[in-house]
Structure 1
Amino acid sequence: MRFKAKLLDINCMQQLTRVGASMSRMTKNCVLCLAPKKIVFVSNERISEGGTRIWCEIQQETLFDDYRIEGKDNSNRIFLELITDNFARALKSIQFGVVSVKIRLTKKYTPCLTIEIVTAYGNSNRIITHDVPVVIVPQRDWYEYEEPDMPQFDVSIYMPQMKVLKQVIDRMKNLSEHLVITADQKGNMTLKTQNDIVTVETHFKDLGNPVWANDAANNRKEASTQIGAMEACIYIKKLAQLLQGQQINPSKIICNLLAEKAIHIYLVSEDVILQYYIPAAM
């Protein structure tokens, strides 16, 4: 197996740094899937224990100036398990004045992602090298890290802007461990939390509803409009974890609600797609 990539654009370097920082705030460990056309950060916690699932995808051509990969089979993929904080710390060395960033799969005392950062220093260059230990995921386990199917949701709705959502959740998370999300296909959403003393609700109107391409989604839209609002109760800390960790500045946030089962949040920015699956509270 071989992997080598190079970044020359400071904006692309900063984008990778933001993704790394976001992942480190959302999860301790993840699997980095390297494929010919994209790289994906995947985290699968145990859903049965209230865990989340994260899928963060970047098209490699929007990020790298040079990208070469040689995997084990015809799919040309490599799966690497890593500690997200180690990866994020290595990328923190990327500052203005960086000339290039090279990332290679190497074998030292253990398999590593070696990140080589070249910085202009006077009339010469300074090289900073970080070795991020990784575990190569055996091919028999790859199925656990494939892209999740779009869930058969009951309601799909745009969420408020990230800044507004953070402010609301920050106030609510100290009141209860649970959050009830109610939404309909008319663009209405309510966030509610309560304890023995107080009930707090925040209402949003005219958020809009995405139109999905397949007929099944259109049928769901018609059915949900007739049925009315649907709701799901989740652990509020799971949503707070997503919002606090975000640095990718999404242009759209979509919430797909599976009544009484889960919510599937879909963040879209110019170059990054992040999917975040939160099961209903036990």
Structure 2
Amino acid sequence: MRFNAKVATAKRLLKVVQIIMKIKNDCILHIAPDATKFIITSDANDTMQVWTEAKTYLFFEETVIASLNHNMIAMQIQLHHLKQVLQSAVNVNGDTLVRLRKKDGSNVPFLTFTITQSSRSLFLTQDIPVVVLSAQILSGFVEPVLPTNNLNFFMPALKHVQNVVEKMKNISDHLTIEVNTNSTQALCFSVETGTGSIKTFYDISYPELGNPIPPDVSATVKVDIKKFLKTLQSHQIEANHVVCCVYEGSSLVLHVMQRDLTISYYLPLIY
């Protein structure tokens, strides 16, 4: 098993790590020659999941990767460790090399980052302990399969929605999301108060998926408002499109899409 590469842009990778670690610190890093994934799975206490996939060139270049599992390597990693290393790389503004290795006399695998800046004769090495996953264990991590009856729409500007929902958080723990294609302002975010409700409406558009959206379709779901706010942190990557998929009776999915990079959030519903 072998992996070594040069970090393409430490600032870009750091931004992605900072966004997804808002959900959870434990993460599966899956690296292949063509694609790199960060997978945050659910546990007994939280069924929220995050699947991030990018073309490998966005994060790594001069990549050498070899394994018996079709040249794919997966490892369990603590994102706060990776964040610290990348912050050092951004501050130094030099070259950052990464290598999967075992230290002398140890069977514990590490990702070793070497940060250099020749103009200042600076040389910094940081190790991150990881747990390398077998192909059998990796096969158990599968992106959620959802029903086909859903309503998809483009989200309004995430930063604006974040500001609105942040204020609603002080009123209720639950956020209701309503979509009605028969309305001019088809999207509504609302929270219940002791005497009524507070609502904010948005005009939205819909992805072209082959068939036009019927004019009389509606859907309503309720989610944990704090979890939803965490997804809105992804406004930092300046996405080209953000598509929200409402699955009544199942989940709410948010796909944050930039060129060759997608962050998908799977939020459980509250009934």
TM-score, normalised to structure 1's length? 0.86
1:259 corresponds in structure 2 to 248
Does the 8 A contact of 2:253 with 2:267 survive in 1? yes
Q: CA, structure 1 residues 76+212, in 2 after alignment: closer, same or farther (shift >3 Å)?
A: farther
Instruction: Tell me the SS of whatever aligns to 2:227.
Output: helix
Superposition pairs of residues 1-282 of structure 1, within 5 angstroms: 1-7=1-7, 12-46=9-43, 49-73=45-69, 75-95=70-90, 98-108=93-103, 109=106, 110-122=108-120, 125-149=121-145, 152-185=148-181, 188-205=186-203, 207-212=204-209, 218=211, 222=213, 225=214, 227-244=216-233, 247-282=236-271
User: How far apart, CA to CA, are the structure 1 residues paired with 2:181 and 2:207?
Assistant: 9
Between the aligned partners of 1:153 and 1:184, the Cα distance in structure 2 is 15
* Partner Cα distance (1:45, 1:142) in 2: 15
Indicate the larger mover: 179-188 or 260-269: 179-188
Equivalent-residue separation in structure 2 for 1:246 and 1:53 (angstroms): 18
Q: Moved runs in structure 1, 4+ residues, more than 4 A? A: 147-151
Any gaps of 5 or more consecutive residues in structure 1? none
Gaps of 5+ in 2: none
Q: Compared with structure 1, are the counterparts of its residues 88 and 97 closer, same or farther at alpha carbon in structure 2 (3 Å cutoff)?
A: closer
Query: How far does residue 152 in structure 1 lie from its aligned partner after superposition?
Result: 2.3
CA contact (8 A) 1:24 1:88 kept: no
> What do residues 109-133 of structure 1 show as CA deviations (whole Å, max 9, x unaligned)?
42111111112443xx311111111
Per the alignment, do residues 195 and 143 of structure 1 end up closer, same or farther by CA in structure 2, a change over 3 Å counting? farther
Q: TM-score, with normalisation over the residues of structure 2?
A: 0.90
Letter in 2 for 1:204: Y
Amino acid paired to 1:115: F
How far off its partner does 1:261 sit?
2.2
Q: What's the C-alpha RMSD, in Å, of the aligned pairs?
A: 2.2
What displacement does 1:150 show?
Answer: 6.3
Change in 2 beyond 3 A, CA 1:62/1:245: closer
8 A contact 2:77–2:129 mirrored in 1: yes
Deviation at 1:248, TM superposition (A): 1.8
User: Contact 1:155/1:257 (CA < 8 Å) preserved in 2?
Assistant: yes
CA distance in 1, matches of 2:201, 2:54: 33
